[in-house]
């Protein structure tokens, strides 16, 4: 697998991720929801200033530090992927690495620029792209757009379950985006197939050839 293939995977994921986020921002109110498939697949618009799946790192400085960390991670990630390609690592590992890199870059774009290029979204108003009065936040302070919601199960837990018995429970509750999904798929796949990915690479490592005796 060549480095340009890694770049194409990253670009493809970024295009899909950003296109969906752009549509959500310019067509939906905050907390608006569309039911795509009854009961368990919905488009639910929300935003978060923090990490994947709605997790947050508190305060303004926490937001800035998280965005800078993402930026450093993406830059280092591209260089590391180049090294992995040169070392001829397993194709599966390279694809997973590209997915993780694309996901990190997708959320980084939100954090860096969305506050500058969009107006504030509310329960009543849809955001405007490139508003005349400027965006809702400064550089590095944008919110990450989330929309994929899969409440596969909604109901009350059986009373015999310790601590949570009888409580209302939703599975799967987090709302996420394409970038989050790409990161999760990449990480989980590496964890599941790590022996195959790294074992085959070790087998491919070149060994020194013994000199061949020349006979006359």
Q: Which residues are catalytic?
A: 146, 180
Q: How far apart are the first and last CA of the chain?
A: 43
Pairing between strand 144-149 and 33-37? unpaired
The rounded Cα 153 to chain-centroid distance in angstroms is 24
């Amino acid at each position: 697998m060549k480095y340009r293939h890694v770049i194409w995977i990253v670009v493809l994921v970024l295009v899909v991720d950003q296109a969906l986020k752009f549509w959500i921002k310019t067509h939906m109110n905050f907390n608006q929801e569309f039911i795509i498939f009854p009961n368990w697949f919905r488009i639910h618009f929300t935003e978060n200033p923090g990490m994947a799946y709605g997790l947050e790192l508190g305060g303004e400085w926490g937001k800035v530090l998280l965005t800078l960390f993402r930026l450093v991670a993406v830059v280092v990630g591209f260089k590391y992927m180049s090294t992995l390609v040169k070392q001829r690592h397993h194709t599966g590992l390279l694809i997973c690495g590209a997915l993780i890199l694309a996901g990190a870059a997708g959320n980084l774009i939100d954090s860096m620029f969305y506050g500058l290029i969009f107006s504030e979204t509310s329960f009543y108003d849809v955001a405007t792209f490139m508003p005349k009065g400027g965006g809702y936040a400064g550089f590095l302070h944008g919110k990450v757009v989330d929309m994929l919601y899969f409440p596969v199960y909604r109901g009350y837990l059986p009373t015999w379950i310790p601590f949570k018995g009888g409580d209302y429970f939703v599975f799967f509750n987090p709302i996420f985006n394409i970038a989050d999904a790409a990161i999760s798929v990449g990480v989980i796949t590496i964890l599941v197939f790590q022996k195959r990915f790294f074992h085959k690479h070790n087998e491919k490592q070149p060994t020194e050839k013994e000199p061949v005796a020349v006979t006359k």
